[in-house]
Amino acid sequence: MIKVLLADDQESARIGLTQLLAAAADLEVVGAAVDGRDLLDRTRRLAPDVVVTDLRMPGMSGIVAIERLMESTPRPAVIALTTFDTDEHLYGALRAGAVGFLLKDSDPALLVDAVRVAYDGQGLIDPQVTRRLVTRFAATSPRPTPPLAEPLTPRETEVLTGIARGWSNAEIAEALVITTGTAKIHVARVLTKLGVGTRVQAAIFAHRHGLVTWSELD
């Protein structure tokens, strides 16, 4: 069972998120914080596996709270959730240590999948902002591809293209006509071979080194 802690200053949002995540058989919502300080306190007491936090909260912001969470032991995986997809929120959350970034109007199923992916040590970025994020971090001169300990297989290259699109494991599985479990295994192998820790780092790596181009994603 994956223990999830929520944080949002709006009661309606906390109720809605709790109902959404609690409906998944493998997720348990252990608490719902009302601001950043409450989130830190509940994290210490409840030891969640994954934290889903709003970024705009009174007092201590979600971004500052994420930075503090990264100093905690054990350290939960954090997903940033916001109404706004501004660069300030996007880059701020990821620099602070969030492994996922979703908009509040995203497909509800995407949040459930993001929690599972975060628990598995990976990250998921909302497809609505993936291109902006990758463009921002990969918009440097192309770099030679560093030697990989083991080259990607053709199937793994297809999986990497899906990652660059911002697809979830389920979406990659559907596109490649494989099971979600198999997609999960392929994603893990891709991250290992590229030497990166999250899906967004894999996407940036792919663009920087020419393994995937935007023309392949249109």
Please report the pLDDT score of residue 209 as a whole number: 75
Q: Is the pLDDT of residue 146 over 60?
A: yes
For residues 165 and 162, the model is more confident at 162
**pLDDT, tens digit, 9 for 90 and up, residues 77-122:** 999 988 876 667 777 888 888 888 888 888 888 899 899 989 987 7
For residues 145 and 189, the model is more confident at 189
Q: State the CB neighbour count (10 A cutoff) for residue 44.
A: 11
Please report the pLDDT score of residue 85 as a whole number: 66
Q: Is the pLDDT of residue 184 over 80?
A: yes
Q: What's the mean pLDDT in 18-37?
A: 95
Q: Is the pLDDT of residue 56 over 90?
A: no
- Per-residue confidence at 17, pLDDT binned at 50, 70, 90? very high
Q: What's the mean pLDDT in 14-29?
A: 95
**pLDDT, tens digit, 9 for 90 and up, residues 192-207:** 898 887 777 787 777 7
Q: What's the mean pLDDT in 14-24?
A: 95
Identify the H or E element spanning 50. Answer: strand 50-54
- Per-residue confidence at 138, pLDDT binned at 50, 70, 90? low
Percent of the chain topping pLDDT 90? 44
- Residue 85 to residue 66: CA distance in whole angstroms: 17
Please report the pLDDT score of residue 205 as a whole number: 79
Please report the pLDDT score of residue 40 as a whole number: 95
Among 1-10, 66-75, 117-126, 134-143, the minimum mean pLDDT is found in 134-143
Q: Is the pLDDT of residue 134 over 90?
A: no
Total-model pTM: 0.72
Helix locations, the chain, DSSP H: 11-22, 36-46, 62-69, 87-96, 108-119, 127-138, 154-165, 169-176, 180-194, 199-208, 214-217
- Residue 40 to residue 55: CA distance in whole angstroms: 14
Instruction: Determine contact, residues 69/76, Cβ cutoff 8 Å.
Output: yes
Q: Which domains does the chain have, with CATH numbers?
A: 2-124 (3.40.50.2300), 136-217 (3.40.50.2300)
Q: Is the pLDDT of residue 19 over 80?
A: yes
Q: Is the pLDDT of residue 141 over 50?
A: no
